[in-house]
């Protein structure tokens, strides 16, 4: 053994030390979750042994009855959680209990330390549930023997920044964790308290959780019974009986039970166990499917996004079982990326027990299961949107931007995903995105053929955009798209319900039947009459614009810039720049409002220098209004100051 029969002291990883400090010194609102986390870890250890024993039955070593046992000692003020699962080697103990091998650790520590309520749910969410033991214990001792090995290890720490490793006399396979409870945590050495926690949090763990039965003292025998030798002998036998281990949870895979046998509380508590989340889920979907593929799925929509939802290295997916045998955590092959927030369990009868992640991705069964689980997830979200709009709004606030990745990733379900999307709109003044495409279509004006939208950096910028002026005048609703992903979304979601999605900031404005024929003819005539004026502006701006024309899209603003029909929008251009991608060089069209006094003033300007100053000022104002920034703000400021001085003289 590498410890060479000698105790060694090791120091925790810096992040673990910070985490332990928070555990020891912070007042968490719900400390009892530590037991849920430790029982869950023990259950995982049993599941992993069962999986490995499929290919190597010798790992059981004659003990295939997997279980978790809880033992309390009131006098010593200790609580011990033991399992006969996979166990750990010395190197695994150091890796698993001394470091956090997960990206984003610093962000997690920051969130945990800044949490106003010191929310203990973050502990399980991040996968460091073992350290929650220090919320209730002054010292933690772990003894473990890995399956198939003969040398046991003892790990011990008081949570002060270091831990010790030494050989252990443990001879039975598995792991035993002893908590030396704090004075204020004595309740966790009480039998009734532990039973209550197990029933609350671990009722549906598929591994039996056992406690020693309580043998209550019997009342004294009556004088008549005391004179009966048989009854006296029976009483003596009862009093001499040794307490037996009894299973205190259902120890049955909950997802295998019929929906009629389960309550809402059962579903909620199982979610908290499987997702390591302390908040309630928004909804769930439980399905037993027979036919071409036989499987059981239990899917949940969380009530709150994990803090690392956008972390590229974050693991996500369902817990995968094959014929009730645990195979893997975070089986992401069964859900597309845009549904990575869905949690739950998938139990298949068609996959082999030795299935690998690669086989899941390539097999026909795996692909069929992914298609089915995706449709069930979308259907669950659809039902939530119809049955409880408030809960759906909560879901959208937490996961809406993730769901917007869907149309680009999953063409076959594009229409169903589109029905789930929510946006701001000129129809409502709400800050929340609560307008669906179906809502928009239901309110379209007679003769309206397109769904109009505008993308902008902020909701305020979208609402005040000059491009909306003609739409406000005619009472035409426009969707306001302000998330960074929105331009990417509409580049893949080009139509809905037979209606084209059309940007009000791109291409020539054509309202179709919503435009007055007289207005169209009038605009054509005005452009023809102003041809010389427009050419003069084009010559002044040179290669900064592709075209200069008059427009009726503006009512109060003198001018605006319009992107080409297929040009990148400002948001997408910024995303590509940030990603180091080359951005195509495009030139906008410059449109002028012929009824605006400033445009008329410029048209009558004979001084070429003054004309150039006015044209550039108007163009740069339009750019600023559209894009929120200028490539050369200093020149714009100087020009504006010069013109202000002239006007002041």
Inter-CA distances, 91 with 4, 56, 85, 309, 406, Å: 14, 22, 17, 30, 42
For residues 464 and 128, which has the higher predicted lDDT (pLDDT)? 464
Structure token digits, residue 375: 């449709």
Q: Is residue 41 part of a domain?
A: yes
197-227 residue pLDDT tens:
998 878 878 899 999 987 767 778 787 777 8
Q: Which of 208, 237, 268 is the last residue of a domain?
A: 208
Could you tell me what percent of the chain has a pLDDT over 70?
Answer: 92
For residues 138 and 51, membership in a common domain is answered with yes
In this predicted structure, the answer to whether residue 120 has a pLDDT above a threshold of 60 is no
- Closest by CA position to 477, among listed 505, 510, 508, 437: 437
Radius of gyration over alpha carbons of the chain, in Å?
A: 34
Please name which of 159, 152, 153 lies closest in space to residue 128, comparing C-alpha atoms.
Answer: 159
Instruction: Pick the last residue of a domain from 505, 532, 551.
Output: 505
The answer to whether 275 touches 263, Cβ cutoff 8 Å, is no
- pLDDT tens per residue across span 351-379: 877 677 777 777 888 899 999 999 999 99
Mean pLDDT value of segment 542-565: 91
**CA 497 – CA 493 distance, rounded (Å):** 11
User: Which residues have a Cβ under 8 Å from the Cβ of 48 and sit 6 or more positions away?
Assistant: 85, 86, 326
Average pLDDT over residues 538-545: 92
Would you say 295 and 289 are in contact if contact means Cβ atoms under 8 Å apart? yes
Residue 121: per-residue pLDDT: 45
Tokens of 138: 């002054």
Residue closest to 457 by CA, chosen among 620, 574, 563 = 574
Residue 333, number of CB atoms within 10 A of its CB:
23
The Cα–Cα gap between 557 and 465 comes to 10
Whether residue 272 is contained in a domain is answered as: yes
Whether the per-residue pLDDT at 339 is higher than 80: the answer is yes
pLDDT > 60? residue 57: yes
The encoded tokens of residue 145 equal: 């023997």
Asked if 271 and 255 count as a contact pair (C-beta separation under 8 A), the reply is: no
- Looking at the predicted structure, is the pLDDT value of residue 116 above 70? no
What pLDDT score was predicted for residue 275?
85
Order the strands of the 318-322 sheet from edge to edge: 283-289, 295-301, 343-348, 318-322, 325-331
**87 in Cβ contact with 41 (< 8 Å):** no
Helix then strand then coil, % of the chain, to nearest 5: 45, 20, 35
Apex CA 497: angle with CA 492 and CA 501, to 5°?
45
Burial group, residue 216, by CB count within 10 angstroms (0-12, 13-18, 19+): exposed
20 shares its domain with 158: yes
The per-residue pLDDT of the chain, averaged, comes to 87
Cβ contacts of 425 within 8 Å, gap of 6 or more: 435, 439, 440, 477, 478, 479, 480
Residue 5 — very low, low, confident or very high, per pLDDT cuts 50/70/90?
A: low
- Kindly tell me if the per-residue pLDDT of 490 is higher than 80: yes
Q: What is the pLDDT of residue 101?
A: 45
Neighbour count for residue 264 (Cβ, 10 Å): 9
Can you give the three-state secondary structure of 499-529, one letter per residue?
EEEEECCECCCCCHHHCCHHHHHHHHHHHHH
**Alpha helices (runs of H) in 246-363, residue ranges in sequence order:** 264-275, 357-362
Domain identity same for 372 and 485: no
Q: Does residue 166 sit in the same domain as residue 20?
A: yes
Residue 401 lies in a domain: no
Number of domains in the chain: 4
- Does residue 474 sit in helix, strand or coil? helix
- Asked whether residue 95 is domain-assigned, the answer is yes
Flag whether pLDDT at 119 surpasses 70: no
Same-domain pairing of 548 and 483: no
Check whether residue 500 and residue 545 sit in a common domain. Answer: no
| pLDDT on residue 125 | 47
| CATH number of domain containing 360 | 3.30.230.80
Judge contact between 50 and 174, C-beta under 8 A: no
- Rounded CA-CA distance 180/74 in Å is 11
Question: What local confidence, expressed as pLDDT, does residue 24 receive?
Answer: 64
Instruction: With respect to residue 216, please indicate whether it lies within any of the assigned structural domains.
Output: no
Averaged pLDDT for residues 512-537:
88
Q: State the pLDDT confidence band at 33, using cuts at 50, 70 and 90.
A: confident
3-state secondary structure 236-247: HHHHHCCCCEEE
Residue 512 lies in a domain: no
Which pLDDT belongs to residue 104? 45
For residue 220, being part of any structural domain is answered with no
pLDDT at 114: 55
The pLDDT assigned to 27 comes to 46
Q: Which neighbouring-strand residues pair with 501?
A: 451
Give the residue from 366, 363, 375, 323 showing the smallest Cα distance to 347.
323
Q: Is the pLDDT higher at 360 or at 518?
A: 518
Residue 174's DSSP bridge partners are 145
Angle at 190 between CA 84 and CA 272, to 5 degrees: 60
Q: Which of 212-221, 558-567, 601-610 has the lowest mean pLDDT?
A: 212-221
Contacts of 251 (CB under 8 A, 6+ apart): 205, 206, 207, 208, 209
Q: Are residues 295 and 166 in the same domain?
A: no
> CB under 8 Å to 528, separation ≥6 — which residues?
none
Residues 196, 134 share a domain:
yes
571 falls within a domain: no
Kindly tell me if the per-residue pLDDT of 341 is higher than 50. yes
Higher model confidence: residue 362 or residue 424? 424
Tell me which residue range forms the domain holding 48: 8-208
Question: Can you give the CATH number for the domain in which 455 is found?
Answer: 3.40.50.11260
Confirm if 79 and 189 have CB atoms less than 8 A apart. Answer: yes
Instruction: Based on the fold, state whether residues 189 and 271 are members of the same structural domain.
Output: no
For residue 63, which of 53, 55, 75 has the smallest C-alpha distance? 53
**Mean pLDDT of the 122-140 span:** 73
| Residue 109 banded pLDDT, cuts 50, 70, 90 | low
**Residue 418, pLDDT above cutoff 80:** yes
148 CB-near residues (< 8 Å, 6+ apart) = 56, 58, 59, 61
Q: Are residues 37 and 176 in the same domain?
A: yes
Percent of the chain clearing pLDDT 90 (strictly above): 55
Lowest-confidence region among 92-96, 217-221, 453-457:
217-221
Arithmetic mean of pLDDT, 443-451: 93
Question: What is the domain-level CATH number for residue 193?
Answer: 3.30.565.10
Domain with residue 553: its CATH number is: 1.20.120.790
- On whether both 356 and 436 belong to a single domain, the answer is no
Higher pLDDT, 515 or 402: 402
- Return d(Cα 377, Cα 299) in angstroms, integer: 7
Instruction: Flag whether pLDDT at 20 surpasses 80.
Output: no
End-to-end CA distance of the chain: 92
Same domain, 105 and 40: yes
Q: Read out DSSP for 124-142?
A: HHHT-GGGGGGGTEEEEEE
Lowest mean pLDDT segment, chosen from 58-62, 86-90, 597-601, 630-634: 630-634
pLDDT tens-digit series, residues 231-265: 878 877 777 777 889 999 887 888 999 999 999 99
Residue 126: pLDDT band (50, 70, 90) is very low
pLDDT at 382: 97
Question: Which burial class, exposed, middle or buried, applies to 345 when counting CB atoms under 10 A from its CB (0-12, 13-18, 19+)?
Answer: buried
Residues 469-484 pLDDT 10s: 999 999 999 999 999 8
pLDDT digits (tens, 9 = 90+) for 146-192: 999 999 999 999 988 889 999 999 999 999 999 999 999 999 999 99
Element (H, E) at 415: helix 414-420
Element (H, E) at 617: helix 608-627
Q: Give the 3-state secondary structure of residue 19.
A: helix
């Amino acid at each position: 053994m590498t410890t060479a029969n000698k105790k060694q002291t090791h120091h925790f990883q810096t992040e673990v030390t910070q985490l332990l400090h928070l555990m020891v010194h912070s007042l968490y609102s719900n400390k009892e979750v530590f037991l849920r986390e430790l029982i869950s870890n023990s259950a995982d250890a049993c599941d992993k042994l069962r999986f490995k024993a499929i290919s190597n039955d010798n790992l059981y070593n004659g003990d295939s009855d997997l279980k978790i046992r809880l033992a309390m000692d009131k006098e010593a003020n200790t609580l011990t959680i033991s399992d006969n699962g996979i166990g750990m080697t010395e190197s695994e103990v150091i890796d698993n209990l001394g470091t956090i091998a997960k990206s984003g650790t610093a962000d997690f520590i920051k969130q945990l330390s800044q949490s106003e309520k010191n929310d203990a749910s973050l502990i399980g969410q991040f996968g460091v549930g073992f350290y929650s033991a220090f919320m209730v214990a002054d010292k933690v001792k772990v003894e473990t023997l890995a399956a198939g090995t003969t040398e046991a290890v003892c790990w011990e720490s008081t949570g002060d920044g270091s831990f010790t490793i030494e050989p252990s006399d443990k001879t039975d396979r598995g792991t035993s964790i002893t908590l030396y409870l704090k004075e204020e945590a004595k309740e966790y050495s009480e039998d009734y308290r532990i039973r209550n926690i197990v029933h609350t949090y671990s009722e549906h763990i598929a591994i039996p959780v056992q406690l020693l039965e309580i043998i209550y003292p019997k009342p004294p025998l009556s004088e008549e019974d005391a004179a009966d030798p048989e009854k006296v002998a029976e009483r003596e036998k009862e009093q001499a009986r040794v307490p037996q281990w009894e299973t205190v949870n259902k120890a049955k895979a909950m997802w295998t039970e019929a929906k009629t046998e389960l309550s809402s509380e059962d579903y909620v508590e199982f979610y908290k166990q499987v997702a390591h989340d302390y908040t309630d889920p928004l909804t769930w979907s439980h399905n037993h499917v027979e036919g071409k593929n036989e499987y059981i799925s239990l899917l949940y929509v969380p009530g709150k996004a994990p803090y690392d939802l956008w972390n590229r290295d974050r693991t996500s997916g369902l817990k995968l079982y094959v014929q009730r045998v645990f195979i893997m955590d975070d089986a992401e092959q069964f859900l597309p990326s845009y549904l990575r927030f869905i949690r739950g369990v998938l139990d298949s009868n068609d996959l082999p027990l030795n299935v690998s992640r690669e086989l899941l991705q390539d097999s026909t069964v795996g692909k069929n299961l992914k298609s089915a689980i995706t449709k069930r997830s979308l259907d669950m979200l659809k039902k939530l949107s119809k049955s409880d709009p408030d809960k759906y709004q909560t879901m959208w606030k937490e996961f809406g931007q993730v769901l917007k990745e869907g149309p680009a990733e999953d063409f076959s379900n594009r229409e169903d995903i589109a029905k789930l999307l929510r946006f701001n709109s000129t129809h409502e003044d709400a800050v929340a995105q609560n307008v669906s495409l179906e809502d928009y279509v239901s309110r379209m004006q007679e003769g309206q053929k397109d769904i109009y939208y505008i993308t902008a950096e902020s909701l305020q910028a979208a609402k005040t955009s000059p491009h909306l002026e003609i739409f406000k005048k005619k009472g035409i609703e426009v969707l306001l798209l302000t998330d960074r992903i929105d331009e990417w979304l509409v580049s893949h979601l080009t139509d809905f319900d037979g209606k084209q999605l059309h940007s009000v900031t791109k291409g020539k404005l054509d309202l179709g039947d919503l435009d007055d024929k007289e207005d169209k003819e009038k605009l054509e005539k005005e452009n023809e009459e102003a041809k010389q004026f427009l050419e003069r502006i084009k010559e002044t701006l040179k290669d900064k614009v592709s075209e200069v024309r008059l427009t009726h899209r503006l009512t109060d603003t003198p001018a605006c810039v319009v992107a080409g029909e297929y040009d990148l929008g400002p948001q997408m251009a910024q995303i590509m720049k940030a990603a180091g991608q080359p951005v195509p060089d495009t030139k906008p069209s410059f449109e002028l409002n012929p009824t605006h006094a400033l445009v008329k003033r410029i048209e009558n300007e004979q001084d070429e220098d003054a004309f150039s100053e006015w044209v550039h000022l108007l163009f740069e104002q339009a750019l600023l209004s559209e894009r929120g920034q200028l490539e050369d703000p200093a020149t714009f400021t100087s020009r504006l100051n010069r013109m202000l001085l002239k006007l002041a003289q």
